[in-house]
Amino acid sequence: MRHVYTRLIIGIILLAAAVAGGGPLCIILGAMSLCSAYSLWKNGGGR
Protein backbone atom coordinates (compact mmCIF):
# COMPACT_ATOMS: atom_id res chain seq x y z
CA MET A 1 0.00 0.00 0.00
CA ARG A 2 3.00 2.24 0.50
CA HIS A 3 3.63 2.36 -3.26
CA VAL A 4 0.10 3.59 -3.88
CA TYR A 5 0.46 6.44 -1.40
CA THR A 6 3.89 7.39 -2.72
CA ARG A 7 2.71 7.54 -6.32
CA LEU A 8 -0.41 9.41 -5.30
CA ILE A 9 1.61 12.07 -3.48
CA ILE A 10 4.08 12.42 -6.35
CA GLY A 11 1.21 12.77 -8.83
CA ILE A 12 -0.48 15.48 -6.79
CA ILE A 13 2.79 17.39 -6.38
CA LEU A 14 3.51 17.22 -10.12
CA LEU A 15 0.01 18.37 -11.03
CA ALA A 16 0.31 21.25 -8.56
CA ALA A 17 3.63 22.20 -10.18
CA ALA A 18 1.97 22.10 -13.60
CA VAL A 19 -0.73 24.50 -12.41
CA ALA A 20 1.95 26.80 -11.02
CA GLY A 21 3.66 26.93 -14.41
CA GLY A 22 5.57 23.70 -14.81
CA GLY A 23 4.40 23.04 -18.34
CA PRO A 24 3.14 20.02 -20.21
CA LEU A 25 5.82 17.63 -18.93
CA CYS A 26 4.58 18.02 -15.36
CA ILE A 27 1.02 17.38 -16.52
CA ILE A 28 2.04 14.18 -18.31
CA LEU A 29 4.17 12.87 -15.43
CA GLY A 30 1.53 13.76 -12.86
CA ALA A 31 -1.22 12.03 -14.81
CA MET A 32 0.96 8.95 -15.29
CA SER A 33 1.71 8.79 -11.56
CA LEU A 34 -1.96 9.13 -10.65
CA CYS A 35 -3.01 6.48 -13.18
CA SER A 36 -0.33 4.15 -11.87
CA ALA A 37 -1.49 4.66 -8.28
CA TYR A 38 -5.10 4.04 -9.29
CA SER A 39 -4.28 0.84 -11.15
CA LEU A 40 -2.21 -0.46 -8.23
CA TRP A 41 -5.05 0.35 -5.85
CA LYS A 42 -7.66 -1.39 -8.01
CA ASN A 43 -5.53 -4.52 -8.50
CA GLY A 44 -4.57 -4.75 -4.84
CA GLY A 45 -0.87 -4.38 -5.61
CA GLY A 46 1.45 -2.36 -3.44
CA ARG A 47 0.72 -4.50 -0.39
Mind listing the pLDDT tens digit for each residue in 7-42?
999 999 999 998 898 788 899 999 999 999 999 889
The reported pLDDT for the residue numbered 13 is 92
pLDDT for 1 beyond 80: no
Burial class of residue 11 in the structure, from the number of CB atoms within 10 Å of its CB (0-12 exposed, 13-18 middle, 19+ buried): buried
Q: Which domain holds residue 30?
A: 2-43
pLDDT for 3 beyond 90: no
pLDDT higher at 1 or 27: 27
The reported pLDDT for the residue numbered 46 is 54
How many domains are there within the chain? 1
pTM: 0.79
Instruction: Give yes or no for a contact between 7 and 40, defined as CB atoms under 8 angstroms apart.
Output: yes
